[in-house]
């Protein structure tokens, strides 16, 4: 059997930055090739500049490095995607089809494709949205993820390609910044709080959304990818649930550390996107099939984010003072 060699696309993004690090820690520098449109400074492993829609470039990397698995993270997110829907569709779908076709052609062992809560929309059950609820996405990002899930299932059924996927909630972490999502507020709010600044929230105070702490998101991804093949019963994408809360819940939790923290609510177009998404997901299939269990709830997330960001901003010379 050939040595495991992983390619990560979109490795400079919010999830890609932290997932690449975790994969390197787990499998070693030599086993992970990162790639992105942009270079990566001080990378401990091989980093390739790659536009994931460039099939020839992807093939070159796969043959040069003997890639056996791909984590395909490159995508335009929900809010940014609405600025140019056709371009978003092209980038998200073209890159996925490029990855799937090249992976099948080169008989790679596994592919990871991140889907999202954005596949849901319309008239669904909002709490505990079932795994098999109808997909009526409200954004081009959601449409591309819903189509991507079907392509993943198609490649598994037709070519036996072992594609695995998660419907990620909004991801909250301190090591990287999100870019262009509807759930980004839940990271930005901590940066403002720790710097002693007021936060203007683009969502309504009551906009409940499913969220996940980065550590849980990384663990879920690796647990799914390492699960025995016969345990994987969902070949579109698994619902994944960790925590669900509203902006006003985050603000209240932050005030335990910063009693003077101020937030203003100025809902914009992102509020309509958020309103179309579930409040929480029924992830019983993930729990049954590969024993998924989240570890971080809102209070844990708030404590971790404030503690980690305080250290980061203190290093940069900011004065941060928490009361706890």
Judged by CB under 6 A, the residue of 92, 182, 236, 280 near ligand AKB is: 182
Q: Of 74, 80, 18, 28, whose CA–CA distance to 48 is shortest? A: 74
* Candidate segments 112-120, 251-259, 293-301, 302-310, binder of ligand AKB by CB under 6 A: 112-120
Closer residue to ligand AKB (CB): 141 or 292: 141
List of residues 6+ apart from 41 with CB closer than 8 A: none
C-alpha 129/C-alpha 141 separation (Å) is 19
Q: Tell me which residues in 118-137 interact with ligand AKB (CB under 6 A).
A: 118
By the 10 Å C-beta count (0-12 exposed, 13-18 middle, 19+ buried), 289 is classed as middle
Q: Is 168 in the site for ligand AKB (CB under 6 A)?
A: yes
165: Cβ contacts below 8 Å, ≥ 6 apart: 112, 113, 114, 115, 148, 149, 152, 236, 237, 238
Angle made by CA atoms 10, 15, 18, in degrees to the nearest 5: 105
Alpha-carbon distance values, 124 to 103, 146, 207, 240, 286 (Å): 34, 15, 16, 17, 20
Report the nearest approach of ligand AKB to the CB of residue 152 (Å): 16
Candidate list 141, 168, 213, 258, residue with the active-site label: 141
Indicate if 213 belongs to the active site: no
280: contact with ligand AKB by CB under 6 A: no
- Nearer to ligand AKB (CB atom), residue 99 or residue 166: 166
Region near ligand AKB per CB under 6 A, out of 56-64, 93-101, 157-165, 181-189: 181-189
- Pick one of 9, 17, 78, 176: the residue that binds ligand AKB (CB under 6 A): 78
Point out the residues that are catalytic. 141
Binding positions for ligand AKB, rule: CB under 6 A: 77-78, 116-118, 141, 168, 170, 181-183
């Amino acid at each position: 059997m050939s040595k495991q060699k992983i390619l990560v696309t979109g490795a400079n993004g919010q999830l890609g930055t932290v997932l690449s690090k975790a994969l390197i820690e787990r499998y070693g520098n030599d086993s992970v090739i990162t790639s992105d449109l942009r270079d990566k400074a001080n990378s401990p492993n091989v980093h390739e500049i790659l536009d994931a829609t460039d099939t020839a470039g992807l093939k070159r990397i796969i043959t040069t490095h003997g890639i056996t698995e791909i984590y395909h993270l490159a995508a335009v997110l929900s809010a940014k995607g609405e600025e140019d829907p056709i371009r978003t569709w092209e980038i998200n779908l073209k890159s996925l089809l490029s990855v799937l076709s090249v992976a099948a052609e080169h008989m790679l062992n596994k592919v990871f494709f991140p889907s999202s809560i954005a596949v849901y929309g319309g008239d669904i059950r909002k709490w505990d949205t079932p795994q098999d609820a109808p997909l009526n996405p409200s954004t081009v990002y959601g449409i591309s993820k819903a189509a991507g899930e079907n392509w993943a299932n198609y490649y598994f059924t037709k070519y036996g390609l072992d594609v695995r996927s998660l419907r990620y909630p909004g991801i909250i972490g301190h090591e990287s910044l999100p870019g262009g999502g509807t759930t980004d507020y839940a990271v930005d709010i901590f940066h403002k709080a720790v710097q002693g600044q007021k936060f203007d929230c683009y969502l309504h105070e009551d906009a409940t959304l499913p969220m996940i702490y980065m550590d849980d998101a990384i663990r879920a991804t690796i647990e799914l990818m390492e699960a025995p093949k016969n345990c994987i019963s969902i070949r579109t994408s698994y619902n994944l649930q960790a925590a669900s809360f509203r902006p006003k819940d985050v603000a209240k939790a932050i005030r335990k550390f910063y009693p003077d923290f101020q937030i203003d609510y100025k809902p914009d177009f992102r509020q309509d996107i958020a309103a179309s998404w579930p409040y929480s997901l029924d992830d019983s299939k993930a729990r049954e099939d590969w024993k998924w269990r989240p570890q971080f709830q809102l209070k844990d997330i708030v404590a971790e984010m404030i503690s980690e960001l305080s250290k980061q901003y203190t290093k940069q010379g900011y004065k941060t003072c928490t009361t706890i």
